[in-house]
Amino acid sequence: MNGSLPAGPIFVVGQPRSGSTLLTRILNEAPDLFIINDFYVLQQIDAADLWGALSPAQARQVADWIYERIHIRATQDRGKTISQSIEMTDGQLSALSEVVQSGWPQGLSWSDVLARVMETAARLAGHTRWGHNTPQDYLHLDRLFAAFPNAKAVFLLREPVSLLKSYKNVSGPWHDARRYNPTAIGLAWRAAARSYLRLRESEPERVMFLSYGDLVGDTSGTLARLSAFLGTTIPPLDLAALGNNSSHRGGAALPVSENEVWLACRPIREELKLLGFTVPDASFRLGGAASLAGIYASGLAFHLHGLATDPDRRKRILRLIQSSASQDRAPIKPAL
């Protein structure tokens, strides 16, 4: 990468339920950074197939999607919280809305619109660099890196047993217990891990790997690494002072069976070792097969309905399949 380029956008990717919301909150403590949590705009662009030259109406649509995410993240809670990690006044949001509603010329790209809206938002809020957290955007990193030659990405992953527990016990309006599927979680973990390992080989100066365990277990050391990689200064933090980041359903936690761990970890043993995680010692037990069958049966109906009715979900699954297929054809290499 050209070392003369100014510091550019930052993208937090990896897998949900792995600490990306907490990491976004931490990054926004750096005085120059303006990072939007749970952005998901590229998924909307992908579902609408707006990767080519845009008409004025299409450019306005993309700008509206970006503004909507910023507005939610700035107003759902006032003052920085774990999930609401940016701050913008009503006046700043009004000024940003004027930019979004202004005329958009013919022939802009999605990245032109993204850069204009995000750069304006960051400047209005008093920051110089922007970025966003969307875990699944590792599926779009090639596009992002091509559009923004000075961009960097932080990959965040979590050890699989804790990840399964988090997925199984999550609750809230945006979560459904039928989403829980150990095999799908394992395959998505592998796709994110392999995306990092591939980019570590080809563009090591643009990617950084971070485990959730390091983030919460060695916070000061992790913040120093992040600051050096991103070219910024993240001040010392007491994570406990930032608030609770749990989406736990409450009450007694649902246990994760050895069969569930075995199914999730079967496809990722090699990647776990390459990234420094311990491979869980789990095996399949026939005694738990009936319970497991219930999990998969309820999830199948849920996902089939979603695939039939939700173009965004169809595109996400298609991208994951395409990514997994291409990665399977390319051997992964350990770090030198």
Predicted confidence at residue 115, as pLDDT, reads: 98
Where do the structural domains in the chain lie, given as residue ranges? 10-328
pLDDT value of position 311: 74
**pLDDT exceeds cutoff 60 at 143:** yes
CA distance 28 to 252: 33
* pLDDT of the residue at 335: 56
C-alpha to C-alpha distance for 135 and 22, rounded to whole angstroms: 13
DSSP codes of every residue in 101-143: HS---TTB-HHHHHHHHHHHHHHHTT-SEEEEE-GGGGGGHHH
The answer, yes or no, to whether residue 248 has pLDDT greater than 60, is no
CA 235 to chain centroid, in Å, comes to 23
pLDDT at 2: 45
Say how far apart CA 113 and CA 119 lie, in whole Å: 10
Are 327 and 274 in contact, with CB atoms under 8 Å apart? no
Lowest mean pLDDT among 217-226, 263-272, 291-300: 291-300
What CATH homologous superfamily does 10-328 map to?
P-loop containing nucleotide triphosphate hydrolases (3.40.50.300)
Q: What is the mean pLDDT of the chain?
A: 90
pLDDT, residue 331, reads 60
pLDDT confidence bin for 84, thresholds 50/70/90: confident
Q: How confident is the model at residue 286 (pLDDT cuts 50, 70, 90)?
A: confident
Q: Which of 28-37, 184-193, 244-253 has the lowest mean pLDDT?
A: 244-253
The tens digit of pLDDT for each residue in 207-217 reads 999 999 999 99
pLDDT attached to residue 336: 47
Confidence at residue 117, expressed as pLDDT on a 0 to 100 scale: 98
How many whole angstroms separate alpha carbon 89 and alpha carbon 75?
9
Residues of the chain with pLDDT > 70, as a percent, come to: 89
| Burial of 174 per CB tally in 10 Å (0-12, 13-18, 19+) | exposed
Highest-scoring range by mean pLDDT, 269-283, 293-307, 316-330: 269-283
Which residues, at least 6 apart from 120, have a Cβ–Cβ distance to it below 8 Å? 95, 96, 99
Instruction: Write the pLDDT tens digit of every residue in 262-282.
Output: 999 999 999 999 999 999 999
| Amino acid sitting at position 259 | N
Whether 175 has a pLDDT exceeding 90, the answer reads no
β pairing state of 207-211 and 152-157: parallel
Task: Name the residue among 154, 151, 166, 144 with its Cα closest to residue 13.
Answer: 154
3 state DSSP class of 283 = coil
Q: Higher confidence at residue 304 or residue 67? A: 67
Q: Looking at residue 296, what is its pLDDT?
A: 85
The answer on pLDDT for 92 being more than 80 is: yes
pTM for this predicted structure: 0.90
* 110 pLDDT higher than 70: yes
